[in-house]
Structure 1
Amino acid sequence: MSVLTPEAWQAVALSLRVSVWATLVSLPVAILVALLLARGHFWGKSLLNGLVHLPLILPPVVTGYMLLILFGRRGPIGSVLAEVGIVFAFNWTGAALAAGVMAFPLMVRAIRLSIEAVDPRLEEAAGTLGASRIATFAVVTLPLIVPGILAGAILAFAKAMGEFGATITFVSNIPGRTQTLPSAIYAFLQVPGEEGAALSLVAVSVAISMGALIASEILAARIARRIGR
């Protein structure tokens, strides 16, 4: 395998930046949506569930094109945000948005399953003692679902690291600006003789993803022991 160039390391750094931001920004929303789907009883629940999981069903290119239509400089949302200096299209922030959208269903599903595994009687008992819904969630539910939240966050991070189709459609493949690790691998594969550089980036990608998964398992095990599971 060849030594990575500064441009390749720049793509790795950008991927880490994009993945971290995509995960952190999506996490609070994912917890709220997972809570609604797991405990809520309202009209349109099936519709919400379908919308959440839509990025898993649609081709990534379609998702990226929809983001471009909505968040492009002339899009209904992007044009408004551009007036206050927030630009997504052809910017690293757009890569984070695309990665977050594609990873969101995985995060929600992991957290939802964790919430559904919590015995509702524990929450009901807290309610009978006078605790509000927010207090019940913070004191009873949240500590029990931390492993699920962690698992969802790691899954989302890994998915964001590997996101390609939606990202390249929405923000293109601009070196130093929007070229993430998968995009850099694709670019190297288009140049004869650069297969070694592509393979090196593949190795880096595998190492980062495996490291994140192993760290997740270790942290989840420690948290589970602390809460007595």
Structure 2
Amino acid sequence: MNWQPFWLSLQVTGAAVIGILIIGLALALLLARVSFRGKLLLETIIYLPLVLPPTVVGYYLLFVLGRGSFLVERLNLNLLFTWQAAAIASMIVGLPLMVQTARAAFEEVEPDQEEAARVDGAAEWQVWWYITLPIARRGILAGLILSTARALGEFGATLMVAGNIPGRTQTLPLAIYDAVQARRYDDANLMVLMMTSLAFTGLWLVYRLGAASRKPPRRYGSTFSEKSP
């Protein structure tokens, strides 16, 4: 088996996850805490890749990254058929899962806890770093794992904007497709097993995080009182 698609998938997914984490947290916090006109429209646009076929998402990205776009005409960034284009496609399809999960986690943080920190003199960044993030960390981590798994398995949008160039843009899902087309079933079986193992591990971690967050807190007071004379 050629391991190049595997390492390229890790590179593409790693770059996508950086964007997912930064943009996803900002959008999740915005949607959880701020009311503004057009909020419903913004939510719909963010979650649209969840229901659109990946090829349609890739078609829209062609307008953003292709000739005549702002990136090409003004910034002279020709990203089509590069691994960076694959990373952008993976980020777009994985972003909704991060925003959705992190937003729910932020909404569970009690405003009174944050306000108490402000009253004690904490700056906004301190409230964010020491109060909001620690409380919402399980939801954020779950969203990051899900979005990473989605980005790693991206196929349709990647094919549209990055192509299927061996050694340059051929990620693991694209390599599986090629192996099946060429009837190299041994290679296909190995790559499918790798993708399945990664996806299974990601989902297992997410459910472990969910189970841990639902676990009732230990009642130390009652235990102590039972042992006291």
8 Å contact kept, 1:61–1:165: yes
Cα 1:120–1:22 shift into 2, 3 Å: same
Instruction: Report the 3-state secondary structure (helix = DSSP H, G, I; strand = E; otherwise coil) of the residue aligned with 1:43.
Output: coil
1:158 alignment partner in structure 2:
149
Q: How high is the sequence identity, in percent, across the aligned residues?
A: 41
Match of 2:226 in 1: none
Task: Give TM-score, length-normalised by structure 1.
Answer: 0.86
5+ residue gaps, structure 1, are: none
What is the alpha-carbon distance in structure 2 between the residues aligned to residue 167 and residue 120 of structure 1? 40
Is residue 2:23 matched to residue 1:29? yes
Counting only pairs closer than 5 Å after superposition, residues 1-229 of structure 1 correspond to structure 2 as: 5-6=1-2, 9-81=3-75, 83=76, 86-191=77-182, 193-214=183-204, 220=209
Distance in 2 (CA, whole Å) between partners of 1:217 and 1:59 is 27
Distance in 2 separating the partners of 1:71 and 1:78: 7
Supply the AA of the counterpart residue of 2:176: I
Shift, 1:157, TM fit? 0.8
CA shift, 1:171, in A, is 0.9
- Three-state SS of the structure 2 residue aligned to 1:114 is helix
How far the C-alpha of 1:55 sits from its partner, in A, is 1.1
SS in 1 for 2:74: helix
**Aligned pair in 2 of structure 1 residues 194, 78: CA closer, same or farther (>3 Å)?**
same
Tell me, in whole angstroms, the C-alpha distance in 2 between the residues paired with 1:214 and 1:57.
24
* Deviations 1:82-141, CA, capped at 9 Å, x for gaps: x2xx44210001000000000000011110011111112111222223333332212210
Task: Give distance in 1, aligned partners of 2:114 and 2:37.
Answer: 23
Count of aligned pairs between the two proteins: 216
Q: For 2:50 and 2:28, locate their aligned partners in 1 and report how far apart those are by CA, in whole Å.
A: 16
| SS of equivalent residue, structure 2 residue 70 | coil
Q: Distance in 2 between matches of 1:78 and 1:210?
A: 39
Q: Distance in 2 between matches of 1:152 and 1:185?
A: 26
> Is the 2:89–2:157 Cα contact (8 Å) retained in structure 1?
yes
Determine helix, strand or coil for the equivalent of 2:25: helix
Whether the aligned pair in 2 keeps the contact of 1:87 and 1:93 (CA below 8 Å) is no
Paired with 1:92 and 1:79, the residues of 2 have a C-alpha distance of: 20
Q: Which amino acid in 2 is paired with 1:31?
A: L
Question: C-alpha separation between the residues in 2 aligned to 1:78 and 1:115?
Answer: 37
**Letter paired with 2:141:** L
Which digits, 9 at most, give the CA deviation of each residue in 1:21-44, with x for residues without a partner? 101222011111100111111111
Task: Calculate the TM-score normalised by the size of structure 2.
Answer: 0.86
Amino acid of the structure 2 residue aligned with 1:22: A
CA-atom RMSD in angstroms: 2.3
Q: Which amino acid aligns with 2:135?
A: L
What do the CA deviations read for 1:24-82 (whole angstroms, capped 9, x no partner)? 2220111111001111111111111111111112211111011111112442323333x
Q: Is the 8 A contact 1:72 1:79 kept in 2?
A: no
